[in-house]
Amino acid sequence: MNKNLNFYSGKKILITGNTGFKGSWLSIYLNCLGASVYGLSDKEYEGIYKMASVNKILEDQLLIDINNISIDELSEVINKVNPDIVFHLAAQSLVFEAKDFPLKTLETNMIGTYKVLKSVNNNESVDTLVVATTDKVYQFPELENTEEENLLGYEYYSSSKVGAENIINAFINTEKRKTLNLATLRSGNVIGGGDRAKNRLMTDILESLFENKELQIRNPKSIRPWTYILDSLTGYLYAGEYCSQKKLCEVFNLNSKSNNKYSVQYLINTFESVASQKLNVIFEETDLKEVKTLSIDSTKAKEILNWETIYDVEKSLIKIFEWEKHYKDNSDIIFSTKTVEEYIGELNE
């Protein structure tokens, strides 16, 4: 793959869920690449979107809840933008939220995805659709799964994402127009500055650091495939370019093999070292079903996309700490743009 990502320069891009953590960073990334970025979200979320004034780099921002409109109405919205590429990131992405609100989770992640598939299919200007699912879709999550392994959900969040993938497959096999290309990305445990989603480890760590709150940890020995936000999104961009140029539909796992071995406790200890401050950690019991070790095999992305992470856990946490320190007292887009530009420079070294 062409690591300078010139492919996106001049492209018109629509991001669903653009006001969330990943959507905000992707907006900045694409803006740095010379794309025109449009956003579609249900509301403006706390975190990087508001903290870094991401709205200032958008061509347009549409605040619409996909759950509350029809396919025809969503098609009209997409027709107004006429994008070249759509990144579908809008989702209910929290395991605990899914446990408390299963119906909303299923509607958002499954029916919402179908609405986007149909609406994009109705617009001939859209060349490629990139859909984010999760690494938590595999039947045996404790194994290092490749993209060919069986899918199965064990709670409502993973089940909703497995359902979304089944819908995508059915859509490809029955309705998809020949000129639409589709990339499905399975990534998870993405970390970066500005994540304020509830019950996420980095959100809780940052609240403990800056607000002197207790850091409540469920499973300190759990191992997760930690991936820096810009590393992960680079995989999204590579996959979108690849599927567009090759005129096909593909699925890719995205996670760092080198970062697969680190526990929650290790991440906390490393962050304490980076921040030079001890956190008030409290261990709590939970009845939520979670696997001890979660990792996926990204060999396919490495071999086909030439994608691999360039930041290890420590460097990721350093970048997060620097970002958070800056935005304690600032609200400019410049620092976030510079963070992306520096990353792109390192990507091409």
Count the helices and strands in the chain (H runs, E runs).
13, 13
- Phi-psi sector, 254: left (phi>0), alpha (psi -120 to 50), beta: beta
Class of domain 6-191+228-254+295-309+336-347: alpha beta
Report pLDDT digits (tens) over 156-202: 999 999 999 999 999 999 999 999 999 999 997 899 999 998 888 89
Q: Are 244 and 181 in contact (CB under 8 A)?
A: yes
> For residue 95, what pLDDT band results from cuts at 50, 70 and 90?
confident
At a CB cut-off of 8 Å and minimum separation 6, what does 169 contact? none
How far is 342 from 336, CA to CA, in rounded Å?
10
Closest among 243, 349, 337, 242 to 33, alpha carbons compared:
337
| Domain ranges for the chain | 6-191+228-254+295-309+336-347
Per-residue confidence (pLDDT) for residue 175, from 0 to 100 = 97
Cα distances (angstroms) measured from residue 335 to each of 38, 94, 180, 203, 323: 21, 28, 36, 20, 8
Per-residue confidence (pLDDT) for residue 287, from 0 to 100 = 60
What residue type is 66 in one-letter code? I
Average confidence score pLDDT of the chain:
94
Closest among 187, 184, 186, 188 to 240, alpha carbons compared:
184
**Over residues 282-288, mean pLDDT:** 70
Percent of the chain with pLDDT over 70: 97
Report pLDDT digits (tens) over 12-45: 999 999 999 999 999 999 999 999 999 999 999 9
Percent of the chain with pLDDT over 90: 83
How far is 30 from 100, CA to CA, in rounded Å?
34
Per-residue confidence (pLDDT) for residue 252, from 0 to 100 = 98
Q: What is the pTM of this model?
A: 0.96
Closest among 18, 120, 25, 6 to 59, alpha carbons compared:
18
